[in-house]
Amino acid sequence: MSIDFILPDIGEGIVECELVEWLVKEGDIIVEDQPIADVMTDKALVQIPAMHSGVIEKLFYKQGEIAKVHAPLFSMKVEGSMQVESSMVADDTGDQAEDKAASNDAPVATSEVKPVVSSESSVEPAQEAVKGKAVASPAVRRVARELDVNISEVTGSGKKGRVYKDDVVAFDQGGVLVPTAQVSPTRVEPIRGIKAVMAKAMANSVSTIPHFTYCEEIDMTELIKLRLELKEVYAKQDIKLTMMPFFMKAMSLALKEFPLINSQVNDDCTELTYFNDHNIGMAVDSKVGLLVPNVKQVQNKSILDLAADIARLTNDARSGRVQSTDLKGGTITISNIGAIGGTVATPIINKPEAAIVALGKLQTLPRFNDKGEVEARSIMQVSWSGDHRIIDGGSIARFCNLWKSFLEKPSNMIVHMS
């Protein structure tokens, strides 16, 4: 039985496509899922596979011609009809075919037609069925041409004898790639819980907020020295003093001078809300996904108060037990990605906030001092992302300069603390 293969609707309103290359010719025996042709739409190059096993009877287009969607692309005789016809011929010939076979006076009539392999056959006969026309992608065929390899002579290690690049390379080097057990290269798992919430929030942020990035470097040498001195003192009181309390307190002091950075705009960008409280969030890489708990009212807290809150929130987040109230009401966020690695980033704003900063890793780098002498300094790169609907480059630069001055000169920060 002959059937026409109708060019399917490839999607996105495509009504026609260019026939780039036929991967078969009329008379070829093909198997199900074997690539038949490459067609080019105005979006991408698409490979058309066979829906049935059988023999190609007619190709309706030449290379370079425009094929129409919902019109026949090629016709073929499907595998089932070939089996029926073969059995009918065998019944009609009867003993005559047996006599011819026994006397060897003439070759068997079906010797030039490769047998149709049933679904119970082994992989090896299936490969013989397509011998002469390898099952391979255009990229693999291109590799074969570049290596001057006849791809039809290459034994494929893939499903149904599909030839891969490694098969061609191995053949070119004089060997044959040993087929390995078929292992699925992918797995699918549902996105649930915190990861699902994060995925939706990040997509919503980048699609609705025009982000811009501003980068700066901060000399942390003096602050690191101060923190090391204080760390030993407060460790005896079971207070873990990290760098984060200093980052938050310095940021809060800068926000007093630049309240715009601590504001939020409504969805249709008609109103701007300024917040008196500085609820500074910190991104935590927890076992359940990215969590951003925030320390409430940083403007009213001391460095030691912040250290206690940060330790509690970090432990809760990493164990996945952070309270919902600690995740709500944030006004600005710090991402300490440098604790893992990296120097610069383009952080995504935690909507509806207006800004976020990513802290890079500390690096010991050479810098000139006031006397023109080279010194080893502890340098950190910071990367800001701002909502460009309400924050311009000048605003973020001036705000960052003030924040930077507090971090580079801790004594300046202490003076400004109430």
Q: What is the distance between the terminal CA atoms of the chain, rounded to a whole angstrom? A: 90
Return the amino acid letter for 346: T
Reply yes or no on whether 392 is catalytic: yes
Round to whole Å and give the CA distance between 241 and 284: 17
How many CB atoms within 10 Å of residue 335? 23
Distances (CA, A) of 45 to 35, 40, 49, 391: 13, 4, 13, 42
Which distant-in-sequence residues (6+ apart) come within 8 Å of 250 by Cβ?
Answer: 403, 406, 407, 413
Residue linked to tokens 């009212």: 297
E strand segments, 50-127: 54-59, 66-68, 72-78
* Pair 314, 321: CB distance under 8 Å: no
Round to whole Å and give the CA distance between 313 and 284: 9
Reply yes or no on whether 92 is catalytic: no
Sheet of 45-49, strand order? 45-49, 35-40, 16-22, 66-68
| Residue from 9, 42, 166, 392 carrying the catalytic annotation | 392
Which distant-in-sequence residues (6+ apart) come within 8 Å of 396 by Cβ?
Answer: 214, 261, 355, 384, 386
Which distant-in-sequence residues (6+ apart) come within 8 Å of 232 by Cβ?
Answer: none
Q: Which tokens in the block code for residue 176?
A: 């044959």
Residues with catalytic annotation? 388, 392
